Structure formats: C-alpha cells, structure tokens
C-alpha cells in the first residue's frame, strides 16, 4: 500500500471502532449507522483510495470542487452526498452527480432541484436541513458567529418536507443538522441531536420515506449515534487536517 493508503486505512479503522463502540453503548446494531466520508478539500485520488478501502458513501459541500472530483471518480461505485449550502444556480450541476442532498432549507430550492432531477431523468433523495439555532419562522446561520451553515427552523420542517414529498423526481429522505455554535444548543451536541431525532420521528409519521437522520461529525459522532443518527458525516477524522479552503 502507498503511505497515503496506509494512513487512510488506519484512520478509517479508528473511526470504524468509534462508530462500533458508540452503537454498542447505545444498544444499536452497527448496521443502523452509515458512515459518509466528507472528502471536501481532498483530491479525487483520496476518494479512490477510500473506495478501495471499502468506503461506499462520500460527501462534498461545494459544487465547484465536487463536480470535477465526482467526474474523475465516475467509474467507482459510490453514493455522493451533497451537504453544503446550495445556491439555485448550482442545482443543475449538483443533480448531475449527487444521489442525496442533505441541505434543503428553502422552498425555492425544492422547485429548482425537482426541475433539474426531472430534466436529468434522475431520482434525488433530499433531506431537510434543520437549524437548531434559528428562531421560529427564521432561517439558520444568519446570527452572529454562526457562519453560513444554513437550515430551516424546526417549525419550518413540515412545510418543506411537504414540498419535497410533492415534488416530481425528489424523495423526502429525512433530516440533517450541524451541531449549532450559538443558541440554546451551543456546546450541547447530544441535546441538539436528540432534538433532531424528535423532529425526525414526527416527520416520519407523515412521510414514511424520511428515514435518514444525518448528524454527527468527527468531533461528535458518538453523541449523534447515541441520539439515533442513521448517517454520520466524518471528514477530518478519516482524511486528516483539511488544507485551508481556497
């Protein structure tokens, strides 16, 4: 193995052990949780090595970077997840390679994704991104120090899910969140993820397809697994410290 492959294999093993231990502690079967490796800022060659090591799900957060990377890896059987803030003018490109979009946070995006999916003849799984730092009726990520994480406030989830369910080419596949840096859940990822699981349960009553709970990153994947996440999105714990964003 190359040095890089050996390094990735070792890191992947450690993450796998963490997920397995968290599942065991929560009394959940390991098969309940899918690892998505977030490959943003790392090259297509790493995606290829990860696939050789058994990774089947990868995620990206910027279309400019993801589109060429996915094209370079189009011969590999991978499920591509888009997890970043999505502008409507990037939707057509994203629909060209993504199987799942985790970051649906406004109705305008639903219309654009649906039109692009129909046009491409593809089905797209969509998750409602929930901002647990947003006030009712507001979008997330507008507050000071919060950055541009996006998401819709919890009270906006049913309407957005309804729009997804009614949109041709799209499936309402679940909910996603990023542990908030501000608001009542700041520094309390476990409580935030438990809130997401509650939101998910209520959503599934109306939308049985919405089975995915996407939560947890390198620093807090155990909290996510214990709260009921079905998908964890892990970047740096597998790939190492990210190069600075250009």
Ligand X SMILES: *Cc1c(COP(=O)(O)O)cnc(C)c1O
Q: Which residues bind ligand X (CB under 6 A)?
A: 38, 40, 61, 83-84, 178, 217-219, 233-237
Minimum distance, C-beta of residue 175 to ligand X, in the bound complex (Å): 13
Q: Please report how close the Cβ of residue 40 comes to ligand X at its closest, in angstroms.
A: 6
Cβ-closest position to ligand X: 235
Instruction: Using the minimum distance from each CB to ligand X, give the nearer residue, 18 or 233.
Output: 233
Please, what is the minimum distance in Å from the beta carbon of residue 163 to ligand X? 22
How far apart (Å, rounded) are the C-alpha atoms in residues 150 and 210?
Answer: 20
Q: Least separation, in Å, of the C-beta of 23 and ligand X?
A: 18
* CA 61 – CA 70 distance, rounded (Å): 12
Give the nearer residue to ligand X in terms of CB position, either 94 or 169. 94
Q: Which is nearer to ligand X, 228 or 235 (CB)?
A: 235
Q: Minimal CA–CA distance to 148: which of 199, 86, 215, 100?
A: 86
Residue 83 C-beta: closest distance to ligand X, Å: 4
């Amino acid at each position: 193995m190359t040095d890089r492959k050996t390094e990735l294999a070792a890191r992947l093993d450690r993450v796998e052990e963490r997920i397995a231990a968290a599942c065991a502690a929560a009394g959940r079967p390991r098969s309940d949780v899918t690892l998505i490796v977030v490959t943003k800022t790392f090259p297509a060659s790493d995606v290829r090595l990860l696939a050789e090591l058994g990774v089947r799900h990868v995620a990206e957060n910027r279309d400019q970077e993801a589109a060429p990377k996915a094209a370079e890896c189009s011969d590999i059987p991978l499920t591509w997840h888009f997890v970043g803030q999505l502008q409507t003018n990037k939707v057509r490109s994203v629909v060209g390679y993504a199987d799942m979009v985790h970051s649906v946070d406004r109705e305008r995006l639903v219309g654009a994704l649906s039109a692009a999916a129909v046009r491409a003849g593809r089905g797209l799984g969509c998750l409602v991104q929930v901002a647990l730092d947003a006030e009712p009726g507001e979008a997330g990520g507008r507050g000071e120090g919060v950055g541009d994480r996006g998401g819709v406030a919890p009270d906006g989830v049913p309407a957005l899910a309804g729009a997804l369910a009614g949109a041709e080419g799209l499936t309402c596949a679940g909910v996603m969140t990023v542990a908030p840096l501000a608001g009542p859940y700041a520094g309390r990822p476990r409580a935030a993820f438990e809130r997401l699981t509650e939101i998910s349960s209520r959503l599934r009553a109306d939308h049985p397809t919405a089975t995915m709970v996407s939560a947890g990153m390198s620093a807090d994947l155990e909290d996510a697994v214990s709260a009921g996440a079905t998908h964890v999105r892990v970047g740096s714990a597998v790939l190492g410290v990210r190069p600075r964003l250009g």
